[in-house]
Structure 1
Amino acid sequence: MSDRETGGMPVTDEELSLPKATVAKMITELLPNDVTCAKETRDLVIECCVEFIHLISSEANEICEQESKKTIAPEHIIAALNHLGFQSFTAEVEDVLKDHKQQQKDREKKVSKLEQSGLTEEELLRKQEELFAASRAKFQSAQQ
């Protein structure tokens, strides 16, 4: 993290971490149902993940600087993975990047449901009131 991201205060390695609950959930989802994970093991996994992120980030930063760039791009991360011997990760990272870019495009193209419906706001409001009335009637008949 840069000083700007931390309010000007330098961040020590001890302060860097990942959300324990999120990591615990991921570990639980990956393990068989009959296997549990000790707290110390979860903490070790977190430390390993932080170290991995630090390693990749540092390498990507060096690549970025060699290219006289000021912003680390996804391509720098992929190059860092390759330089550090993690070629087996690059295909999945590239797939995730492709999916992310597609989601960004889809978000930009997305029109609101109001625009999609082709109905005026008044017509949509009338339909909503009709649905509420039908729901109330159904609920009241179920209560009797």
Structure 2
Amino acid sequence: MRIWGLTNRLTATVQKIITEILPPSSGQTFSKDARDLLMECCVEFITLISSEANDISEKEAKKTIACEHVEKALRDLGFSDYIADVLAVAEEHKQQLKSREKKQSKMEQSGLTEEELLRQQQELFRSATDKYNSVPE
């Protein structure tokens, strides 16, 4: 299902939120029409905030929309109540990126140059090919 170019990811996210808010044990259900309307509202909200944040970043001659642009967009559009939660999620995301960067730096921690690592990789491929080719059929 696609709504304004968004993929099923939006559907899954909205469904997860609905399930958290309205668990099956409550006896209440959420109709497909209501879910679709909620998704359209979500898309409209995201589009509104994104557009405003983009305008703000362009006025500052920036090529990248930053957290402060989203924060100002929320404030300018009257959604100041959301700012604390948005900034908390942004900080959490930043921490997750830092932990990913640490994992990615294993190459740097090896102490080997890129050429040495490439040479080792090629040797491993050669070794694997030799082993594969030497197996009797």
TM-score (norm 1): 0.62
> What residue is the counterpart of 1:29 in the other structure?
20
Which stretch of structure 1 is more off in the superposition, 97-106 or 87-96?
97-106
1:16-95 aligned within 5 A: 16-17=5-6, 19=8, 20-32=11-23, 33=25, 34-95=27-88
1:91-130 aligned within 5 A: 91-110=84-103
User: Distance between the aligned counterparts of 2:7 and 2:44, measured in 1?
Assistant: 11
Distance change in 2, residues 1:85/1:18 (3 Å): farther
Partner-residue secondary structure (3-state), 2:64:
coil
User: Distance between the aligned counterparts of 1:95 and 1:25, measured in 2?
Assistant: 20
Which amino acid is 2:39 matched to? I
| 8 Å Cα contact 1:17/1:46 also seen in 2 | no
| Deviation string, structure 1 residues 34-71 (Cα, Å, up to 9, x no partner) | 21100000000000000001110111011011101111
User: Distance between the aligned counterparts of 1:52 and 1:88, measured in 2?
Assistant: 14
Q: Percent identity?
A: 55
Q: What's the RMSD between the two structures over aligned residues? A: 2.0
Q: Flag structure 1 segments of 5+ consecutive residues without an equivalent.
A: 1-13, 116-144
User: Distance between the aligned counterparts of 1:105 and 1:17, measured in 2?
Assistant: 28
Q: Flag structure 2 segments of 5+ consecutive residues without an equivalent.
A: 110-137
Q: How many residues align?
A: 100
Distance change in 2, residues 1:18/1:90 (3 Å): farther
| Deviation string, structure 1 residues 15-38 (Cα, Å, up to 9, x no partner) | 334532432232122114321100
User: Distance between the aligned counterparts of 1:54 and 1:67, measured in 2?
Assistant: 20
User: Distance between the aligned counterparts of 2:12 and 2:96, measured in 1?
Assistant: 27
